[in-house]
Every structure is written in structure tokens, then in C-alpha cells.
Amino acid sequence: MGEEQLNSQASEAQAADERIIANEQEHRAWVAVGNLDTESEAELKTIFLLGQTYPEAASQLDLPLATLKSRVRRTVLKIRGKLADD
């Protein structure tokens, strides 16, 4: 086996490991989202999954824009904290 082929296999193995880690992190993030209260989960999904702008989401959720932005920011920080603790 040549050095180039070994390097290629090592790169493929590293890429596979990175995909596994990314999938695991994504799963943990979804678990954290699923553990949120109903309002926080709906706010996050409206922004990040449905792709609505903050003004659109605030109107749909009948919230002041600044309130929605603050809530989403706090929720994201909460999820990041949970992921860092794991």
C-alpha cells in the first residue's frame, strides 16, 4: 500500500468520525429542544425550522419583537449550556 493510499484512508476515517460526532451533537441538541417548555420550543422552531424572520414570527406568535428576540436568545443559551454540560 502506498503512502498516498494510506493518507486517503486516514482522511476517510477522520471524516467518518467527524460525521458520527456531528450526528451525536445534533441528536443531543434535538433532545434538548424536546425538553423545552411548549412556548420556547414553538419560538425556536418558528425561527430556525420554519425560517421565518423575527418580525414574522413575532406577529404570528402575537409577541412584541424585542420579547421574542430575548426569549429565543435565552433559549439558545440554555441549550448551549446543556450541551456543554453533557
Instruction: Summarize pLDDT for 12-34 with one digit per residue, the tens.
Output: 767 778 888 888 888 888 888 88
Q: pLDDT tens string for the chain (86 positions)? A: 566 665 666 567 677 788 888 888 888 888 888 899 999 999 999 998 899 999 999 999 999 999 999 999 999 999 988 888 76
Give residue limits of the domains in the chain. Answer: 3-85
> Is 3-85 a domain of CATH 1.10.10.10?
yes
**Residue 20 CA to its chain's centroid (Å):** 16
Question: What cell was used for 32?
Answer: 434538548
Q: Which amino acid type is present at position 38?
A: T
The pTM assigned to this predicted structure is 0.71
Q: For residue 50, give the 3-state DSSP assignment.
A: coil
**Cβ-contact 12, 4 below 8 angstroms:** no
C-alpha cell at 29: 441538541
Mean pLDDT (the chain) is: 86
Task: Specify the DSSP element, H or E, that contains 69.
Answer: helix 65-85
